[in-house]
Structure 1
Amino acid sequence: MERHGFDGGIAVEGRVVEQGDADYEHIRTTMVWNGVKPTRQPDVIVRAASERDVLAAVHLARSRGLRVALRSGGHNWCGSPLRDGGLLLDLSGLRECVVDPQTRTATVGPGVIGRELVPKLARYGLAFSSGHCGSVAVGGYLLSGGLGWDPGRWGPACAGVRGIEAVTADGTQVHCDLVEHPDLFWAARGAGPGFFAAVTAFRLALHPLSTAITTTAYVFPVTEAGTVARWAMDAAVELPPGVELSFVLAAADPGTGQPVVTLTATAFADSTTEAADWLGPVRVCPLADRALSHQTDEPTSMDALYAGSTTLWPENHRYAADTMWSSEDLTTLLPRLGTAVATAPSAKSLVLVPVAPASRNPALWQDMAFSALGESYAVPYAIWTDPDDDEANVRWLRETTETMAPLATGHYIAEADLTAAPTRAERSFTPSAWQRLCHLRTEFDPQGLFHSYLTP
């Protein structure tokens, strides 16, 4: 029998599960997308169906002295939402999406996933910088900054957040933007899993839809990573902001089985002519005779891009991941990352290296906690299926990040392995942003109702 309230307490429209309930363990494990499930156990899980449920859950937690963790439905490799004790508030059921084509804005719930958001906006000829994986919900993605599609023109996704609706630690419903509660709004754009309020809706500024998405890609042996990086970095200088350039270093190419590096340039253009013009700097590659394969000016779609992401990060797999910002050039980073990925125990493992993952346009970097801490950025992913291989794959991930640590200047809070070291969260922000976040947490959540960042 489904329960819609707390014993002797508040009724909710959604679902309430407490330790000891028959379906508690099943619900608990679904709170983490990763096949590796932390053993941490909250006392109660509330699956909110409305903003009223969020308010009720916060009031209940306050009355019982329970700390609150939040979950929207992203990947979150280290399982931050699962904590021992307290209340886990699942916001993935808040999936309303209302588009206003006149003002080019949308109001979306934290549980809306990219694969749902993109077609809803496209009906109006509009778009937003959703995450690279279609199954990722906007809640945690936007709170963490959001490194998504078309970053050269749009910057981090949180730059497009114009306002939020939230329930604060004192049980108050508030609207936050640059005018109302600007400090809380500043923190909401980048604080990630340590944010100290429950966001129930985001107001997004939208962009015109690109109608001629086109890709050019080359696959090389991973031993060519340094040479490819030198050519690509020269070409990148000539690419317009509407071209997204990235490397994927894979432990095994599906066709050859050998470690490879794939360079992909994706143009978010408005015509095939424009796309061809934009991709000109990468269309003629002086290293083409060394490529294992390549495609040139291939028309694609958001559905196809999401399908490609699903191939790289499949469901029902086990994952470990970490992030690094660096001030080093990719010509230095890629050969070292290539050496590391060639030793991965799983053929599915990879390293993602976006080129300029977030626009440097100063207009897109105002009033936000999100911090880009270097010119270069990389994310190693250990990906495997057999639980017996957990130790070997996690060890590879940790050894890779430790090897690269002398070149790292920080981490990205959305995908940092917060269980690796107690400094991971702090090193995901500039010193001034971290100090301001700590101060605001004390101001808005003095009793520590909302869990702060996960630590080892």
Structure 2
Amino acid sequence: MTQIRDEAATRLRPRLSGRTLLPDDPGYEEARTLFNSMIDRRPAVIAQCADPTDVARAIEFGRGHDLEIAVRGGGHGVAGKALTEGGLVIDLSRMTTVTVDADARTARVAGGAIMSDLDRATERYGLATTGGRVSTTGVGGFALGGGSGWLERRYGLACDNLLEVELVTAAGETVRANEDDNPDLFWALHGGGGNFGVATSLTFRLHPLSQVTVALLLWPPDRDVVTAYRDFMESAPDTVGGAAIYLTAPPEPFVPDDLVGRLTLVILIVHAGTGPDADDAIGPMTGLGHTGGLIAEMPYADLQCMLDDPPGFRNYWSAEYVASLPDDAVDRFRARAPDMVVPSASQHILFPLGGAVADTPADYPIPWRTARWAVHPLGLWERPEDDERAIAWARGTLRDMRPWSTGAVYLNFIGNEGRDRVIAGLGTDNYDRLRQVKAQYDPDNIFHLNHNIEPT
């Protein structure tokens, strides 16, 4: 290990425009910290790249010294694949530039940008695209994994709005993928994640949107409002997204005192736009007598950071995608809520799909887009002694939902759940085709710290 560090200091560091961090360097500890505090790994080298040339040189160094290579965008993935023990981390956090072409309605996003970088850049032009539901998510990993967000029923998944990707391959070559150039690779990047190289820029289609209407409605957990929400969303226009969420109510002005610090049911309704259409769309839920909450028009970028959780929590997430949500399924979802760790930052979530998610005809490796609902146990807690309880709650939620499951799953929502779940997230036929693309761009499986696709 000492030899690797000496080599990195004398051979890699002088060749990078960015920064090379070794374990004794200032900033190393911060650079190896991930959103999920359960992940504690110490890479031998962290290459904070400034441009694609840096990325190619870091890959060359890692391969030349037989180091396992991890790629870090936002560091938000629950599985902790952005770190490697004793290997090399290609850290893109210095590459955050977002360039908006307002006339063409596109945004070119550097590989290390997080969602707030994208949202704030497009906000100035009254434009937006489907983003993650928190502002700290890395744009690259989010979009390459499919990209589910508040606007998906209106504008499709993030990858449905992906127009081009530039990435550095395992051989250190920079390639461009779009509908005309390397179309098989472009197809694979719509759900196949970071298996094929390091994405140094992504170009997205944008849509006219500046303000959204948000209703955040609170009830005690024993109120059966989830059934009403299910019925509401079954006929809601595509402009409406949101979620039903059980969580620990925070001490906010819109939260009644008797709910603060307690398990609470939140119905979040997001309308892509404002005015009378928004009022009419959300009216059926706002008329049910909520005990607290807020209804407001706000910039979309503000919505994106409204539910942010700070890093440092212990994390365990998973998901089950269901074809229908009959009363029995609603009852099981509600009954599992008290098993989560309270108080904590955990959330017991029910997301509606449909709309543009289901209607988009593109044949991408995203078999879960046809599901009607997603159940997402999002575990975030502080104390190690709560690990067993939190993980059991998440796994129990999946068991409860399996009678209605489609069998497919959004891979960005899960951690290490085995090869079968990876295939379920991509589709069996898609997985075979993805293996062939993987063999072309990464035949030695250098980029295997992800939901891995094994090359043929």
TM-score bracket for this pair, using the shorter chain length:
0.7 to 0.9
Q: Is the 8 A contact 1:66 1:449 kept in 2?
A: no
For 2:355 and 2:49, the matched residues in 1 are separated by 33
For 1:268 and 1:336, the matched residues in 2 are separated by 31
1:36 match = 38
Q: Is the 8 A contact 1:69 1:81 kept in 2?
A: yes
* SS of corresponding position for 2:303: helix
1:326 match = 322
Q: Does 1:7 align with 2:10?
A: yes
1:102 match = 103
Q: Is the 8 A contact 2:321 2:409 kept in 1?
A: yes
Quote how far apart the aligned CAs of 1:397 are: 2.8
Instruction: Choose from 290, 306, 309 the match for 1:308.
Output: 306
Aligned residues: 437
1:91 match = 92
Quote how far apart the aligned CAs of 1:148 are: 1.5
Q: Is the 8 A contact 2:221 2:246 kept in 1?
A: yes
Q: Is the 8 A contact 1:323 1:417 kept in 2?
A: no
Instruction: Choose from 329, 338, 343 the match for 1:342.
Output: 338
Quote how far apart the aligned CAs of 1:379 are: 1.1
> Which deviates more, 124-133 or 334-343?
334-343
For 2:81 and 2:433, the matched residues in 1 are separated by 22
What aligned pairs does 1:9-24 form with structure 2 within 5 A after superposition?
A: 9=12, 11-18=15-22, 20-23=23-26
Q: Is the 8 A contact 1:253 1:259 kept in 2?
A: no
Quote how far apart the aligned CAs of 1:440 are: 1.6
What aligned pairs does 1:358-369 form with structure 2 within 5 A after superposition?
A: 359-362=356-359, 364-369=360-365
* SS of corresponding position for 1:223: coil
2:434 match = 437
The residue type paired with residue 37 of structure 1 is I
For 2:326 and 2:432, the matched residues in 1 are separated by 30
2:280 match = 277
Q: Does 1:244 align with 2:246?
A: no
For 2:202 and 2:106, the matched residues in 1 are separated by 10
Q: Does 1:224 align with 2:223?
A: yes
1:382 match = 379
The residue type paired with residue 7 of structure 1 is T
2:191 match = 190
Quote how far apart the aligned CAs of 1:24 are: 8.0
Quote how far apart the aligned CAs of 1:315 are: 3.3
For 2:395 and 2:92, the matched residues in 1 are separated by 31
Segments of structure 2 that go 5 or more residues without pairing to the other structure are 252-256
The CA deviation string for residues 87-109 of structure 1, in whole angstroms up to 9 with x for no partner, is: 22111211111111121111111
* SS of corresponding position for 1:92: coil
2:263 match = 259
The residue type paired with residue 20 of structure 2 is V
The residue type paired with residue 231 of structure 2 is D
For 1:3 and 1:107, the matched residues in 2 are separated by 37
For 1:144 and 1:156, the matched residues in 2 are separated by 10
The residue type paired with residue 447 of structure 1 is D
1:66/1:3 Cα in 2 relative to 1: closer, same or farther (>3 Å)? closer
1:405/1:92 Cα in 2 relative to 1: closer, same or farther (>3 Å)? farther
1:264/1:232 Cα in 2 relative to 1: closer, same or farther (>3 Å)? same
Give the TM-score normalised by structure 2.
0.87
Q: Is the 8 A contact 1:4 1:12 kept in 2?
A: no
1:204 match = 204
Q: Is the 8 A contact 1:242 1:268 kept in 2?
A: yes
> Which deviates more, 129-138 or 327-336?
327-336
1:184/1:330 Cα in 2 relative to 1: closer, same or farther (>3 Å)? farther
The residue type paired with residue 392 of structure 1 is R
Cα RMSD (Å):
2.7
Q: Is the 8 A contact 2:8 2:45 kept in 1?
A: no
1:76/1:259 Cα in 2 relative to 1: closer, same or farther (>3 Å)? same
The CA deviation string for residues 356-381 of structure 1, in whole angstroms up to 9 with x for no partner, is: 1762453x341422332622102112
1:117/1:123 Cα in 2 relative to 1: closer, same or farther (>3 Å)? same
For 1:277 and 1:4, the matched residues in 2 are separated by 64
The residue type paired with residue 441 of structure 1 is K
Instruction: Choose from 412, 415, 427 the match for 1:414.
Output: 412
The CA deviation string for residues 330-359 of structure 1, in whole angstroms up to 9 with x for no partner, is: 644332222222022332222121111762
For 1:358 and 1:21, the matched residues in 2 are separated by 51
Give the TM-score normalised by structure 1.
0.87
For 1:307 and 1:63, the matched residues in 2 are separated by 41
1:303/1:168 Cα in 2 relative to 1: closer, same or farther (>3 Å)? closer
Q: Is the 8 A contact 2:352 2:374 kept in 1?
A: yes
* Identity over aligned pairs, percent: 26
* SS of corresponding position for 2:435: helix
The residue type paired with residue 377 of structure 2 is P
The CA deviation string for residues 27-52 of structure 1, in whole angstroms up to 9 with x for no partner, is: 4532x11222234x433221111121
1:447 match = 444
Q: Is the 8 A contact 1:229 1:330 kept in 2?
A: no
The residue type paired with residue 291 of structure 2 is L
The residue type paired with residue 214 of structure 2 is T
For 1:341 and 1:230, the matched residues in 2 are separated by 15
Q: Is the 8 A contact 2:128 2:206 kept in 1?
A: yes
* SS of corresponding position for 1:328: coil
The CA deviation string for residues 214-272 of structure 1, in whole angstroms up to 9 with x for no partner, is: 123432333334xx233223322442211113110225676425433221211111x42
For 2:75 and 2:245, the matched residues in 1 are separated by 21
For 1:118 and 1:79, the matched residues in 2 are separated by 25
For 1:403 and 1:250, the matched residues in 2 are separated by 19
